[in-house]
């Protein structure tokens, strides 16, 4: 089994924290039956991906898993929705609410994802509300979801979907509408398990 992390920089073959990092332009050749899942970073070339929508969709349909980060503006998989920016004025407009459980986020408190403080150690949530900056997890949403989509998190007082999962054939797609999820895995947040759970989901466990 293999899990790929598609990057813009060519680092093909390196195993980093459970991922083989590949340049996005080498992605199609790496989506073999032995590759169980693909983690797409938010800065990948969506124009390139959209030009290969059929091949990427077929990879998932045959049982592959794909975790999509960032702001989707080019539809490169069947069922994807385009990201829309939220009109927000306060942290309450960006707060996360977990709509249903998901193995990637098991034991991860949504509150731990809301604020960045710049500190390397744990900071109590009531202090984060005073010194932290909200919005790094996400500032937008996805509407017009596919019929079989399952919303994982909504954002803000409008309860707009920001994270959702849906099936394509034998495979599954998890979409996160913000900065790369791996950025939010850390001991100081109490979310260290997030990285392991991402890899395990991509492996099909």
Domain positions in the chain: 2-202
pLDDT at position 172, please? Answer: 98
Of 114 and 182, the one with more pLDDT: 182
Give me the pLDDT at residue 120, please.
61
Residue 94 pLDDT level (bands cut at 50, 70, 90): confident
* pLDDT, tens only, 141-153: 999 999 999 999 9
Residue 111 has pLDDT above 90, yes or no: no
More confident call, 181 vs 88: 181
Mean pLDDT of the 63-89 span: 94
pTM: 0.89
Name the band, by pLDDT with cuts 50, 70 and 90, for residue 31.
very high
Residue 117 tokens read as: 């403080």
Mean pLDDT across 91-98: 85
Q: Which CATH class is domain 2-202?
A: alpha beta
Question: Over the stretch 6-27, which tens digit does the pLDDT of each residue have?
Answer: 765 444 455 566 788 999 999 9
Lowest mean pLDDT among 4-13, 44-53, 75-84, 193-202: 4-13
pLDDT (mean) for 113-119 = 63
> Strands 160-168 and 171-176, how do they pair?
antiparallel
């Amino acid at each position: 089994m293999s899990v790929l992390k598609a990057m813009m920089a060519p680092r093909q073959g390196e195993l980093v924290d459970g991922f083989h990092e590949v340049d996005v332009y080498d992605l199609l050749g790496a989506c073999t039956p032995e590759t169980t899942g693909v983690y797409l970073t938010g800065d990948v070339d969506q124009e390139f991906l959209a030009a290969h929508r059929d091949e990427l969709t077929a990879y998932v349909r045959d049982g592959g898993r794909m975790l999509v980060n960032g702001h989707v503006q080019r539809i490169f998989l069947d069922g994807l929705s385009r990201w829309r920016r939220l009109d927000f004025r306060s942290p309450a407009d960006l707060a996360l609410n977990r709509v249903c459980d998901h193995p990637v986020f098991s034991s991860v408190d949504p509150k731990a994802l809301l604020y960045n403080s710049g500190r390397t150690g744990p900071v109590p949530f009531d202090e984060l509300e005073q010194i932290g900056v909200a919005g790094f997890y996400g500032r937008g949403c996805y509407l017009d979801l596919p019929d079989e989509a399952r919303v994982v998190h909504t954002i803000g007082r409008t309860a707009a979907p920001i994270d959702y999962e849906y099936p394509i054939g034998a495979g599954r797609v998890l979409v996160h509408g913000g900065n790369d999820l791996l950025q939010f895995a850390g001991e100081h947040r109490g979310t260290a398990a997030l990285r392991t759970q991402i890899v395990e989901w991509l492996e099909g466990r």
